[in-house]
Structure 1
Amino acid sequence: MLSLLSRLERAADSGGTVTFVSGDTSIAVPWSQLHDEARASAAALQHRGIGPGRHVAILAPTTRALVTAIQATWLAGATIVVLPLPMRLASIEEFIAQTRERVRRADTDLLLIDPDLAPYLESRPGDPPSLVLTELIEVGTRLGAGAYQRPADDLDALAILQFTSGSTSEPKGVMLPQRVLGANLDACIEAGQLQDDDVFVSWLPLYHDMGLVGMLSIPMTTGRDLVLGAPQDFLGSPARWMRWISDHRGTVTAGPNFSWVLATRALRRATDLDLSSLRIALNGAEPVDPRTVEAFVEAGAPFGLRPGAIFPAFGMAELAIGGTFPEPMRGLRTDAVDRRVLESERYAAPAEPAAEGTREFALLGRPLPGLEIRIADPDSGRPLAEREVGELEIRGTSVTPGYYRNPEATAAMFRDGWLRTGDLGYLVGGELVLCGRIKDVIIIGGRNIFPEDVERAVAEIDGVRAGNVIAFGVEGAKGKEQMVVVAESRADDPDGLRRLVHHRAMEVVGAPPHDIVLVTPGTLPKTSSGKLQRSLCRAKYLSRELQPVH
């Protein structure tokens, strides 16, 4: 297996480019040029004592400087810790506190920071030294790439310390040695049948595993073309994503389910696009909603989008990124099951897709090369048969050795050599189907209610902000669990909206919410990658921190 440094050096000779896009502007930079700039910045890092075994935390928006700093850190032989940016400006104090905590937990030796963010993190006693990104580049320019000293190859060296999103617990530092990262990159390339002339298009944040590993590291280490925008550019105008694909003849792109909802809305208003080049449109990082996929395919058809390009997949930080992939160009395939049997017996009994009481799940493909998956009983660890619902467990070459300096969490993560994902799912013909998170399941009357079902249904109601609904369970009278639904809304008639939410929940899962709380937009807690934090929302509800709309 090639080392990370050897991969970067080989990619520099590929003739490929990275194109930085922002709004309507774009700047194409050959990977060879960025590599030279990164070697100079690596020399600047080495000048400050950064080398193998050192940890470099980076806090910056998606820019050429950030990408250069990531490669420079690797070239110096050090570990990167890409820190999340704040989701909402109103949470700046919480963002600063969380950033300091991650910097501390990562045993950071040097903090590289964007000049615009530097004033928010003034140095305190005990903090690691910091350096503004522009200064790193200036020092590197003075030293030159010739001053760079290449460290020895080391497949066991820690390449990435990737903090989990914290959607169900406190963020933990996932260790990704070069050996694990390389195995997953190679597996993704093989399973995705990636081609030398592929053009990646991404706006995903580089502090998230899908953006950092899936959409940046693959082209950066292979020399494939990459068109890279920033999350704020996409969120400010989702149509830009589709425009970048059209203008640059993108073949590979990716996003979580909510982003495809935004893209669909943009396509319905768009003109003069050509999406016929798209070969892999990966939907992952959060539950895949078949209705979202079908709506995107319909909206993209007038622009040449091929239905086979849809690519529902599974991945997680503990695997670097890729876990299971479908066959390329087969499109969306679903499994229809009886909802009542699923909830009461934890068995995915086949059902007619259009029948009442049917639930459809996306098939997420088979494990990547080097990985094995199984479904096991969450309590006993007993392997389950096909269509029996249990916990997804994984083992193989792409699995992390554990969480950084957290032996208790590491021990809890593994059982008999298998990584416990915390995801509920089942297998059909060797393919993975996911139902939800074990910690999030609401048990009412002996039935397993999946909060995603309620959240998606409520989000379709006029007056509720799509993607901003959380359902969770709380202990009620006599110790029985009850369901609470919290939704963001600007409704003029809150009481009427609560009645609609009540009826919709009854229609979908046959269980009434114990309480329905409407809150103002921007209230629901989310992770740095935009995932809903059900556990934190539940805690805020129980402590009466949520301020309802009256």
Structure 2
Amino acid sequence: MSRTKTDTKGRIAVRPLPSLAGSSLVHVLAHRAEETPDRLAFRFLPDGTSDHPIDWTYGELAARAGAVAVRLHDLGLDSGRIVLALDPGLDYVAGLFGIMQAGCTAVPCFPPFGRRATARFLSVLDDCTPRAVLTDPRFAGQVEQFHAQLKTDSRARWVFPEPDFYRTDPGRPPVEPRAVEPALIQYSSGSTGDPKGIVLTHENLVSNCRVLDAHMGYEEDRVGCSWLPPYHDMGLMGTIMLAVHGGWPLVMLSPIHFVQDPYRWLKAITDHRVTISVGPNFAFDLCAQSLTDEEVATLDLSLLRQVFCGSEPVSGNTMERFEERFAPVGFDAGSLIPCFGLAEATLFVSGKPEADDSIRTEWLDKDALEHGHARRAADTGSTDTVSVVSCGVIAKGHEVLVVDPHTLAPLAQGEIGEIWVHGANVAAGYLGRPELSASTFKARPAGAPEDGRTYLRTGDLGFFLDGELFVTGRLKDLIVISGRNLHPQDIEHSVLRAHEDLRRTAAFAVRSKERDEEEVVLVAEFRGTAQKFAHREKDLLERVTAAVTEDHGVRPARVYVGPPGTVLMTTSGKVRRRDTRTAYLEGTLKAFPAAAGVS
């Protein structure tokens, strides 16, 4: 049955796939390798530049993934969970598809390099108790050390692939593609202390690709680019798997190379004539702030038609700065697509309609917003208003409710509540956590029948206006002061605007022992040296305190400023506010040699 149709711009909306090929991404890859074996699938930039690209066609990717499946079978690993902890690159992609082709469940992770990454890696091993770990040979000498730190009695087999691991043996029969459930265990990118493995089926993965395909439309000349971590939902499901499903080439570079020099992302887009890319809000901010005029002059962003921005609340100010900075080199603001998604829904929940040429921003009455109502402001841009960016329309075939998190009653348009999602993208649950899975993935609105439709409780707050979804923040991060609901990202934006030397910041509430009430605490990072901070500390703290007080009517109880790395972040670039709060209370935040500032 053909699924081909055209969108409002005359493009094919969904490229047809045979029914068998559509049953799993393993079968999709087999189909691509059979039908278009010489078509470019991936191009990896090992040093972050275009000087030494490594290209793999669909035929080459399928052969290498098939070799991984054969090696795993030869090791007796034809079922169970396998942690994939390789460096970002093409071997990671081959390992991923090879694990699934072998009939195993892939557990994407990152190499145990560094204290924080190792702690996270070990917490994943403890939680999922894998049959095997596939990681770089450089960690072979640390296995006993890793096992000594595990809380569980792990009997995982460690596999250290050398180059021939990915080479096909002509005399060895291939492992036929099959879809064994679950396909994948995806760990959210937050705290190491309480990792939650999200159980994703092959149907979840294919559904996510299909709804994104339908949202984007098909373009014959599409070329993607991603620096996102391949073990994170946006980098894995939103780029690698989506590209294979859609049949278009993806240019990849390491997230380390992007963080070291954000110019590399936009230069790769220029060099390889990229038409579609994706990044979290902070990436656009970083590019707008850090690139020199000379670097900008080398860019050509005129071919970019779709740039998805998600992973955290989208800032209209960030998007405006990015547009202003790069419009002279061909960037079209209409290509920006704010979107909303989460790992528990595989990835995609909503995105800006393709037909819209600009981002939809609503100016809302600040006082009404703080009391749970999205009311359009008559006077836009004043201190009594706040702008909120739309995350667009809901994914095809899915349903979203906004629900009062206390009464569980669905709310009307313009009322702020918790976002609930139903549809084929929604995961099966959390690994080994039946009670949490039931409360999170099987929620029912108040008054709904017991045999009625169930929903995923996202923990995100938002509202609907004119059929589009607006996301205002995390339910658990909400700051409640004297009955007012303050969203931390709004306060954080005020902090960053107050002083040019501040970068990341986190806002949260702490109960005052003296007054027995909630107070706002700010943690921020200073761009310069300790000496420079000491010289500017007084002015900085005064400006931050004044900005937050003026913008939000609340005076911060304390402003803590430290060096880069003070604000804790997830691997996807989200601020870990609760973990930063814990570190603040425990006195373990990074600090300059001199005492941190207090307002």
Please classify the TM superposition score into its range, dividing by the shorter chain length: over 0.9
Alpha carbon RMSD of aligned pairs, Å?
A: 2.0
CA drift of 1:307 comes to 1.6
**Distance (whole Å) between structure 1 residues aligned to residue 487 and residue 220 of structure 2:** 41
Which secondary structure does the structure 2 equivalent of 1:58 belong to?
A: strand
Structure 1 residues 36 and 546: CA distance shift in structure 2, 3 A: closer
CA distance in 2, matches of 1:273, 1:96: 37
Which residue is equivalent to 1:515?
A: 558
2:490 is equivalent to residue 453 of structure 1: yes
Work out the CA distance in 2 between the residues paired with 1:548 and 1:270: 34
Q: Which amino acid aligns with 2:332?
A: R
Runs of at least 5 residues in structure 2 that lack an aligned partner in the other structure: 1-21, 148-152, 445-453
Contact persistence 1:40–1:145 (CA under 8 A): no
SS at match of 2:344: helix
Q: Tell me the amino acid that sits aligned with residue 408 of structure 1.
A: E
Q: Is the 8 A contact 2:25 2:206 kept in 1?
A: yes
Alignment pair present for 1:69 and 2:92: no
Describe the shift of the 1:121–1:483 C-alpha distance in structure 2 as closer, same or farther (beyond 3 A).
farther
8 Å CA contact retained: 1:486, 1:518: yes
- 2:24 matched residue in structure 1: 3
The change in CA–CA distance for 1:201 and 1:38 in structure 2 (over 3 A counts) is same
Matches within 5 A, 1:74-223: 74-85=100-111, 92-122=114-144, 124=147, 126-134=154-162, 137-141=163-167, 143-144=169-170, 146-154=172-180, 157-166=181-190, 170-223=194-247
Instruction: Call closer, same or farther: CA 1:195–1:145 in 2, change over 3 Å.
Output: farther
State the shift of 1:118 in Å: 4.2
Match of 1:40 among 52, 64, 67: 67
Between stretches 160-169 and 399-408, larger displacement belongs to: 160-169
Q: Deviations over 1:514-548 (max 9, x none)?
A: 11112222222222323221111111222233355
Structure 1 residue 377 and structure 2 residue 420: aligned?
Answer: no
Determine the structure 2 residue equivalent to 1:281. Answer: 307
Could you tell me how far apart the structure 1 residues matched to 2:168 and 2:63 are? 13
Q: For the Cα contact (< 8 Å) 2:507–2:520, is it kept in 1?
A: yes
Answer yes or no: is the 8 Å Cα contact 1:276–1:304 preserved in 2.
yes
Change (3 A) 1:485 1:145: farther
CA 1:356–1:522 in structure 2 vs 1: closer, same or farther (change >3 Å)?
closer
**What is the CA-CA distance between 1:146 and the residue it aligns to?**
4.6
Match of 1:297 among 323, 330, 333: 323
User: Which amino acid is the alignment partner of residue 390 of structure 1?
Assistant: G
- Secondary structure at the aligned position of 1:17 is classed as strand
Query: Could you say if the C-alpha distance between residues 167 and 256 of structure 1 is closer, same or farther in structure 2, counting changes exceeding 3 Å?
Result: farther
Contact 2:229 2:571 in 1 (8 A): no
8 A Cα contact 2:213 2:246, kept in partner = no
Paired residue secondary structure (1:346): coil
| SS of residue in 2 equivalent to 1:518 | strand
Between stretches 484-493 and 228-237, larger displacement belongs to 484-493
* 2: CA distance, partners of 1:347 / 1:119: 57
* 1:543 corresponds to 2:543: no
CA distance in 1, matches of 2:517, 2:171: 65
Output the CA distance in 2 between the equivalents of 1:168 and 1:427. 34
* Count of aligned residue pairs for this structure pair: 539
Structure 2 letter corresponding to 1:370: G
Residues 399 and 422 of structure 2 are in contact (CA less than 8 Å); yes or no, is this contact kept in structure 1?
yes
Partner of 1:431: 468
Q: TM-score, normalised by structure 1?
A: 0.93
- Structure 1 pair 353–34 and aligned structure 2 pair: CA distance change class (3 A): same
For the Cα contact (< 8 Å) 1:96–1:121, is it kept in 2? no
* Equivalent AA in structure 2 for residue 471 of structure 1: A
- Percent of counterpart pairs with the same letter? 31
Alpha-carbon shift at residue 267 of structure 1 (Å): 6.7
For the Cα contact (< 8 Å) 1:201–1:245, is it kept in 2?
A: yes
Check conservation: 2:123, 2:193, Cα contact below 8 A. Answer: no
CA distance in 1, matches of 2:156, 2:179: 27
Contact 2:524–2:566 at 8 Å: present in 1 too? no
Alpha-carbon distance change, 110 to 85 in structure 1, aligned in 2, over 3 angstroms: closer
**Conservation of the 8 A alpha-carbon contact between 1:20 and 1:229:** yes
2:519 to 474, 482, 493: 482
Indicate the SS of the match to 1:383.
Answer: coil
TM-score (norm 2): 0.86
CA distance in 2, matches of 1:428, 1:460: 28
Give the letter for the 1:80 counterpart.
A
Unaligned runs of 5+ in 1: none
Please state whether the residue corresponding to 1:479 is helix, strand or coil. Answer: coil
The yes-or-no answer on 1:236 pairing with 2:260 is yes
- Cα 1:267–1:158 shift into 2, 3 Å: farther
Give the C-alpha shift of residue 249 in structure 1: 1.0
Aligned CA distance change for structure 1 residues 142 and 32 (closer, same or farther; 3 Å): closer
Query: Counterpart of 2:374?
Result: 348
Structure 1 distance, partners of 2:172, 2:380, is: 63
Question: Taking structure 1 as reference, are residues 393 and 305 closer, same or farther at Cα in structure 2, changes over 3 Å only?
Answer: same
Amino acid at match of 1:226: L
| Deviation of the 1:478 alpha carbon | 4.6
3-state SS of 1:415 partner: coil
8 A Cα contact 1:16 1:225, kept in partner = yes
